[in-house]
Structure formats: C-alpha cells, structure tokens
Structure 1
Amino acid sequence: MTILNKSINPYGEPEAALMGSWPWGATWELYTGGTRPSGASTTSAICLLFCESGLVLTKTIKGGWEFTGGRCEMFKKDDFEHAYETIVREVSEESGAKLLWFKEVGAKVIYNPPGKVCINSESGLPFPSIGFQEYFIGWCDTPTDKPYGEEVLDSKVVGLADIGHELFSELHEPEELIILINYFTANTFKNGNYLPEALKAFWASNEHYFIQLSEVYNYG
C-alpha cells in the first residue's frame, strides 16, 4: 500500500482525510462521517470492534491481524447486501462475538483501474468501477465463542495499553484506525450522542490511550 496524501480541508469542504493506492492499480480515498463522493455502490464494510477488554482483531488466511469485516455478499450485478447486514454477519463469523451496537464513522472510496475489470472471487461477478468500503465503530460483549468463518484462523482482544508500534506494524492500513477513532471521539463521544453506557464508560476511561496513539503517529 502507498500513502499518497494526508490532509484535512481547513474550510470544512468535502475532502479525503487520507489517500492511497494498491499495487494492482486501484486508488482510494478515506472520508470521515457521511462526507464522500456520490455514485458508488457499497462493496465491503469494516468494523473497528471494541469490548470491555479492548480492541477485537481477527486473523485470516490473507495473513496479519486486521479489523473485523469483509465484502458485502453480491447477489447479482450491482446488487449487494446492505453494509449493516455485512457487519453483523462478519463480526459473528470472524470474532465469535455478538454485536450489540455500531455506528458508521466513515468510508473509503475505491477507484478500480480504468479499463481493468476486477472480479469478485466469491460471486464471479465484476466489481463496480467505483466502490465504497464503509467503516463502523462497534461494541460487543467480550467474545466467548470461537470464530467460524471459512477464511478465519484466529481472533483476539488487544488491551488498549498494548496497542503500539509492534501491533501497528502487523495491521493493514493502521492509520485509518487513528483517523476514525479521532472522528468518533470528537463527533459522537464528545457531543453526547446516544451511546451504550458500557461503551461510554469504556471510551472515557481509555481516551488517554487514543490521544497517545494520535501523538505517536502524528494523526492528531
């Protein structure tokens, strides 16, 4: 993955918080909240999943620890399951946890290379030329069941005090974690929007860890 840019528009106009590209030629832009370009289909959904013990991660056959989530099931061309359905299903399959609450915090807009058709390996159908990967903050009970997804090797809960350079080096695109957590803290937690009491208490008692992450990785 190549990071091309990191900037927030000071005038509040819609602008990507982060931009990058992948080796096969696709480019992407990460937007926070509901800000994003129009005209794309949601093709995948990712959940930054927390429980009272910390951050829930999953390890799949693709290698490395990552956030729960995955592709929206594709029923026919341009017809995907809703991102909410994807999150509930993927959290259960990849962590063994029951999702109690979740809220959208951003989206990655993915531009597939012009003239190149990218095929969904599960359905055999082509992905749209422009797709959304939606991001959520989620809250669950501490997982007690084993994950059962076909591609899942393991899952674990990482205490926030243990999130450091070593873990970040294993994560795919860890910068997104900080940007989306910062957005959630400023726009949902700080504004007093409805949150489960357990999540509110967890966030308040661990906010200093989130601040430390932002300072260390320069995404404050």
Structure 2
Amino acid sequence: MDITQASAEHQVCKAQFDTAMAKLSEQESLITNLEATIEQTKGELESLDRDWQNSILSALGVKTEASAKLSIQAGVARENLERLRVLHDEARIRLLECRYNAAEAGCAYESIDNKLRAEIFAKALPELINELTPALLLIRGLCELLGQPLYNAEKKICETLKATDTAESVGMIRGRINDTESDTSSPLRYCPEKLPDSVSRAIRNAPSPVQWSAARQNPEKMRDLAEGRELCRGWQ
C-alpha cells in the first residue's frame, strides 16, 4: 500500500469512526434522558399513590370521583413506568452494540493510522538524512584522518539527537510540513493529526469480539453485559 492509498483509507476510517462515535454519543444521551424520565415518573407515581390514599381516608374509605381519577392517573403512570423500563433495557443493549461498532471502527482507524505513519516515516527519513550527507562525510573523513573509531562519532551523533528539544524539533518538522503542502511528491504532506484519545477509550470500553459473539446467542449474557454484571473486556 502506497502513501496515497493509505491516506485515502485513513480518511475513510476516520469518517467511519466519527460516525460510530456520534451514534454512541446519541445512544448515551438517550439512556441518560430515559433514566431521568424514569425517576421523574417514579416520583409522580408515588405522589399519585399518596394522594389516592389520602383521598380514600378523607372520605372515610368511600370511593369518590376524586379518588377514582387519581387511581386512573396512577395506573397510567405505572404503565408508563414499566414501558420506560423496557425502553431503558433495550437502549442499554443497543448501547453495547454501539460500543462494539465504535471499537471495531476504532481498531480499523488505529491500524491504518499506524500504517500511514510508518509509510511516511520510511519515505521522509531518507530524504532528511540525505540533507545531512555533506556533514556526515566530513565526520567520516575526520574519523579516518585521525584514526578514531567510527563508533565514537555514532555515539556522539546519537547523544546529540537525544538531547535536542522535543518541542522545538516538532515545531521545525511541522514547519517543513506546512512548506510542502503544495508539493504532491512530498510524503510529509500526508502526515495525519494526532490520533484522538477517544479511539483508545472506544477500544477499551467495548465488549470483546468473543463476548459480543456469545452475547448475541445468549440473551442472559447480553443482559449481564448491558447491566454491568459482566465487565466489557475491550478489543485489546
């Protein structure tokens, strides 16, 4: 796979991951809202039950129009509460699926990101080393002229490389990237942005492929994962 192909695939995988994360976020919002509505409905039901009881007691145990109305309202609230709980259970299972899809997309995104970076590095490094050739020739010549082992020069070069300021060096290579944006032959123009932290989180927080395969065939295992009785093991 060349850099152009890797870059195109990188963009596709990024878009697929972003879509999967958007669906995951939407599902998380749905569950949060359902939980709030369930609590609100529980409060309304408790209030209606108290009002019904007080209405019966104040009428000395006689059923009145007011208590009958409260009974109907409580019945509707109780039915709604059960339906909300069913929706909540279904939403948590759907959330597992969204997490699995996000992890799958995240793994693909991470994989092509690593490949693209490796391809760029393999192409760009020789070009940068070529710029050092005159200085390296002088160093090699100095070693030969003075009878000094090449190892000493290699060691000093490595020490100098490690001692360079990281922030400054990154700033310099970013400047080089900006300068080559219009140069279609430069591998540096394909450098991707830093892989977002959401990728690793998505991979960690999802059911593993083995867990998901088993859960799809076993409703009880699916409920255990959805309700947190079994922890998701992630993809890695």
In the superposition, the TM-score normalised over structure 1's length comes to: 0.21
Instruction: Please say which structure displays the higher CA radius of gyration.
Output: 2
Say which structure, 1 or 2, has more relative contact order (CA 8 Å, 6+ apart): 2
In the superposition, the TM-score normalised over structure 2's length comes to: 0.20
